[in-house]
Amino acid sequence: MYKHILVATDGSDLANKGLEQAIGLAKELSAKITILTVTDLFPSYGIVVAPGLSTSPEIFEEYRISMAEQAKAIVQQAIAKARDAGVTVEGLHIENQSPAVGIVEAAETHQAELIVIASHGRRGVNKLLLGSQAAEVLSLSKVPVLVVK
């Protein structure tokens, strides 16, 4: 069955449900896990609210460093959970990428056979306004995707 599972997390409670499912599945299958967090590009709303930000390389670098530190903490926490369960694990952080694209590209690059991702399962206007990274991963992925709610 699956020998390599990629699980995406942003450190949220919902993402931790996905992580728990991935760890349980990996343990059952004697599979390894790659834990991934993706930090998005500098938010465009920041440029709209404060146009001076778009010309400040220092602000972009501060943002990048802050996001990298947060990502490192998220991945380290998740790695500790997997190791505590006796699962072989590695961590990965992808910077400046949309989450869905980063997840799918990481699965391909690292030859994962399954992607695990959590989703709120929003519908209607909420889905239109907030988008759905899980839905985008489903549409882009060439490997199976387990969506945890």
- What Rg, from alpha-carbon coordinates, does the chain have? 16
Count how many residues are written for the chain: 149
Phi, psi angles (nearest 5°) of residue 61: -70, -40
18-32, 56-70, 104-118, range with the lowest pLDDT: 56-70
User: pTM for the full model?
Assistant: 0.86
HEC-encoded secondary structure of 39-106: CCCCCHHHHHHCHHHHHCHHHHHHHHHHHHHHHHHHHHHHHHHHHHCCCCEEEEEECCCCHHHHHHHH
Distances (CA, A) of 44 to 37, 67, 68, 83, 97: 20, 15, 18, 37, 13
Kindly tell me if the per-residue pLDDT of 42 is higher than 80: no
pLDDT digits (tens, 9 = 90+) for 94-130: 998 989 999 999 999 999 999 999 986 555 544 444 4
pLDDT digits (tens, 9 = 90+) for 129-149: 445 888 899 999 999 999 998
